[in-house]
A and B are shown apart, each in its own frame.
Chain A
Amino acid sequence: MNAPIIEVQNLSFGYGARPILKDINLKVNAGDFLGLIGPNGSAKTTFLKLILGILKPWQGQIRLFGQDITVFKRWDKIGYLAQKAASVNIGFPATVEEIVAANLYRQVGPFRAPKKTHRAKVQSALETVGLINKRKCLIGNLSGGEVQKVFIARALVNEPSLFLLDEPTVGVDLKGQEGLYELLDRLNKQWHITVILISHDVGVVTARVKRLACLNDTQIFVFDQPFDFLSSPDNLTKVYGQGMQTLIHCHQVNCKGRSFNA
């Protein structure tokens, strides 16, 4: 159960000559729910793209499911929800079903038409996110929260073991956000999908995840107990600097309130 799904060792990366990640080490085990936070420009998205093999590291090693990323082939085991997924061209004439089915490309194979089993997988992914009744709808006729769910269903259609989400709550209202976090919780606890979630919402993420990793100034800080992060002003300063003190304080109050109620 606790075999490492992602192992990052001494990873360095940068754009041009400027390094933005230096000597990063991180281990993510099966069943983890890791929140990845950090200020703007702290390379959160870049870090995910390195794990996805979209970017090539300067130095260091990434192992996925025990295999070096350079020889890793089972990309269908990884679901990814990109940050810009919500801003995709919604005028595109495609139904919910067509978009979700497209991601089965590896399973269906080139030059082949999807079979019954593939269509069943699309149905099941849409049931999971609660969009089965809208499967024939055009993406342009859905709300922002529903569009986000379509992309989650698209990621889930391959039944991934690891799900990476980059700022999934951007442009989604509070009710939608609550639904999204509940869904992620369900995927993690019932389906045992390992989740890595990038977010700006430090307070909410801290309350939801099992572990927290903070990126800032080329470094990563990992907290096995997310509340440890918020409870120490030193941690906050280390990750966000002095400028975030007020905002963090506000979240601290919320978090304390939450634990008090519990």
Chain B
Amino acid sequence: MLEIFQYGFIRHAFMGGLIIGLICPLIGLFIVLKRLSMIGDALSHVSLAGVAAGMILGIYPVYGALILMLLAGLIIERLRTTYQQYAELAIAVVLSSGMSLAVILLSAGRSFNTSLFTYLFGSILTVSKHDLFTIGILGVIIIATVVFLRKELFFVTFEEEAARLAGVPVTLINLILILLTACTIAAAIRIVGMLLTSSLMVIPVATSLQLKRGFYHTLILAVLFSLLAVIGGLILAIYLNLAPGGTIVFFSVLILLFILLRQVIQVKLLGRSQ
């Protein structure tokens, strides 16, 4: 099986995939627990507009996506304070704005529709050194920020008011979290595609939450499930000649189903033994 690694593109694919597998659930856990799961979707839709804008302007599309998503992140955070009781409304507004802008830009530049597919569905097997470099830099920023700010992120995610009273700069931490989400999606769209990025942020987290552990255990488990999905999905995709992005996400869904099934069987067995 190891012979596949003699190909440079396979090595790039695995390297890129593992970085994404690490950072997606890392940020995903915080946004799921803040009940902002849809934020990944909203920013992904914005990223499409960013990719299209990048292509029209002739800049690296991931940078276009990143800039537009950082802007959208700031807007979401602003709207979230305006609609305090309906935080999800901020996400819906940004999702619609991003998608409408994307449609306009796509119709303006018809010629690049094929390369756009690379970003819509991801194209892990064509990851270039330049892509890998960008993903690597974003990955390091995200991991370092989460490691350094883990206490703050935990407290703000658990209870904002108490965190504020304890001296945590809540507004800043919320802003950082949204910006990190934007960076994560920017890194992941080239790998799993904008349509599936938020799944990799949410599904491994949904799986690890089922195991009912403490916070840092849950975080580590989510990362492990995600890495397993990336490795398993990528190998399956290469050997069965399937779309890698889809296979990775589907693999993570299979892990979730396995864990859910295990829970059901456990509960049934426990019921019978009592």
Q: Which residues of B contact A88 (CB under 8 A)?
A: 158-159
Q: Mark B197-221, 1 if CB is under 8 A from A, else 0.
A: 0000000000011001111111000
Q: Report whether over half of chain B's contact residues are helix, strand or loop; otherwise say mixed.
A: helix
With known contacts A75-B165, A80-B165, A93–B155 Cβ distance under 8 A: no
Determine if B214 and A94 form an interchain contact, defined as CB atoms under 8 angstroms apart. Answer: yes
Determine if B215 and A98 form an interchain contact, defined as CB atoms under 8 angstroms apart. Answer: yes
Q: Which residues of A contact B168 (CB under 8 A)?
A: 105
Of B161, B167, B214, the contact of A105 (CB 8 Å cutoff)? B167
Determine if B167 and A75 form an interchain contact, defined as CB atoms under 8 angstroms apart. Answer: yes
Q: Which residues of B contact A95 (CB under 8 A)?
A: 214-215
Determine if B212 and A138 form an interchain contact, defined as CB atoms under 8 angstroms apart. Answer: yes
Q: Which residues of B contact A94 (CB under 8 A)?
A: 154, 158, 214-215
Q: Mark A45-89, 1 if CB is under 8 A from B, else 0.
A: 000000010100000000000000000000110001010010011
Q: Taking the complex as formed, is B33 at the interface, i.e. its CB lies under 8 A from any CB of chain A? A: yes
Closest to A81 in B: B162
Determine if A93 and B218 form an interchain contact, defined as CB atoms under 8 angstroms apart. Answer: yes
Give the number of residues in B that approach A within 8 Å (Cβ atoms).
26
Q: Taking the complex as formed, is A99 at the interface, i.e. its CB lies under 8 A from any CB of chain B? A: yes
Closest to B156 in A: A102
Q: Within the complex, what minimum Cβ distance (angstroms) separates A40 from chain B?
A: 20
Assembly CA distance A95 to B168 (angstroms): 20
Q: Taking the complex as formed, is B148 at the interface, i.e. its CB lies under 8 A from any CB of chain A? A: yes
Q: Which residues of A contact B217 (CB under 8 A)?
A: 93
Q: Which residues of B contact A108 (CB under 8 A)?
A: 151
Determine if A154 and B148 form an interchain contact, defined as CB atoms under 8 angstroms apart. Answer: no
- The residues in A between 120 and 158 inclusive whose CB is less than 8 angstroms from any CB of B are 136, 138, 140-141, 154
Q: Mark B135-159, 1 if CB is under 8 A from A, else 0.
A: 0000000000000110110110011
Determine if A105 and B215 form an interchain contact, defined as CB atoms under 8 angstroms apart. Answer: no
Q: Which residues of B contact A102 (CB under 8 A)?
A: 151, 154-155, 158, 162-163, 166
B-contacting residues of A (Cβ < 8 Å)? 52, 54, 75-76, 80, 82, 85, 88-89, 91-95, 97-99, 102-103, 105-106, 108, 110-111, 136, 138, 140-141, 154
14 pairs from A and B in contact (CB 8 Å cutoff): A75-B166, A80-B162, A88-B159, A92-B33, A93-B214, A93-B217, A93-B218, A94-B158, A95-B215, A105-B155, A105-B163, A110-B152, A138-B212, A154-B162
